[in-house]
Chain A
Amino acid sequence: MRPASPYPSSSTTRSAESGQARARYFEAVRNAARTALERSAQDIRHIRVGRNIVQLRFANSVLANELMRALTHLEIHSNQQPDLTVWIWDSQFSGVPIPRPPWKPEDYVSRGDIRGWDGDVWAAYNLGVGILSLFDTTRGEAVLWLRNPGALPEYERAAPLRTILGWFLRTRGAELVHAAAVGRSSGGVLLAGRSGRGKSTTALSCVAENQSDRSIFYAGDDYVMVERDPSPWVYSVYNSGKLDRNHAAQRLPSLLPLMTNSAAPAGEKGLLFVHEGFPERIVTGFPIRAVLIPEIEAGPGPALRPISPRAVLQELAPTTMSQMPGTGPSTLRMLAALVRAVPCYRLALGNGQSASEQIAALLADQ
């Protein structure tokens, strides 16, 4: 199934000649990637994302080790034909130049999309750090080219291949959503809300809290894969987490030794990989029983208060769609259908009860 285009009118007016030009550029970049891999000791890995097998062909083990940290909990051994093959390379170490792009400077969109590249071949460019993503939906192949692999920002280490996986999962009827998720194999919750709401703290507290109830597990704190049909379901994609260091020192000290970026500038959150310290606390997926909006709220009162699906959609859709190239009307439609399908609550944090206890109680009542 081709991903739903956020630019349907441009798709319908594009000529077959333009489609061939896009296919040619993809093939040129893919061939450059293949050459880069042939020149070095390529590193091939397989991961299972939801029900999909994704083959990752890294140009070298340095790239593989760097980008696999967030994905390692999904790694499998596979001889099956993959559902998606991704070629991952750079020009700096391989010496293979990237073919010149056929689009114009004015075609770059702030979110990363490139106008007109949203039909059979999708393209996006991260203007901040220089990462090109291409996906040919007809071949089931994608390419990731990094301009400066030695200077990857933390958000790329935390959620690598986000754009490509987002495009691919959309062809499978799923979305990569800006949300956290915790639960157990029988069911769990999605934690939605813009940055600063407490999603990460709530999710990571289920990993590290010292308490008798350890029945809630971690699926992700920033991006997770979500399906609405046939029933609402979430799958873990990244085992990374980001947390304010001071906050971690006060509330979740057992996570401090996992933080990888101790030399990062003050104010930047600490990045950790849950799999490296608490692999047994990770769950790869579960049915979604509710969507929660965490809110820091002192004082007594009910921990969970029902809220409208509209309020949840407002916390879920804009933050996902402003960060993910390729999201469009079908994304908004899917997220709206999701929040209509499950109960929605506001989760008060800071009233004395632990988040995981409250979530466990909610799931017990479902």
Chain B
Amino acid sequence: MSTNSEGLRDGHVAAPVGSVLKSHEKALLGKLLEKDPGLARMYRGALHALHQKENPERLVLAAHEIRELMEKVPRAVDIAVKPDRPLGEEVRLLCQDWKRVKPLVHEKEGRLCCEVMAKLKFVQSMEEFLERYDGNSTSRLEKVKVLVRKLDPSGRQIPEPLEGQHARFWGMLRDYFVKVAHHGESSEEELMGYLNELENFLLARLIPRTFDDMDAIDALLDEAETDA
């Protein structure tokens, strides 16, 4: 049996320095390792940072790792991720294209004209920019919905309102970790709470306990019937 990129035999995960992994952390770390060693490294890095009690930046470092983890999870479940460039960067690239085309443009009978191919190329760049801008601003929620669907082993969809709820929940977690990673105000207790939510979210999907949930559903329906 080969070793993984962590330098360990497959299926074994290293504990953060100076600590013992809790069972759910161990389970999630193992699963992330299966999906993508890079994800496991980020998660382990976050846990490691949190255990550096003497490090004043540990919350920032942990949040940074978690934010990265959340960014990379879609790739691990086969979702193509487009480059998520800042708007300023996008505009800069578009300006570059325009500068290339501009010398080819001339005025003729009061109208701007240029070579057809050059014009087409710029129009294409423009279109791509607008598509990306439009996509970035409106479909982040949709992307997370796709992620939620991909995390389901069946690949089938849960009802739209619930999917939306999960997507918003994921976004809320992400926003929190981004904020902390940028030195936003937080506390260890708060960060642990958010991390715990994320861990539960991922565990429920990556290591399903389907029939336990079905037992719970049966019990709930019985309870509701008895109450009625």
Are chains A and B native binding partners rather than an unrelated pairing? no
A: which residues have CB within 8 A of B? none
B: which residues have CB within 8 A of A? none
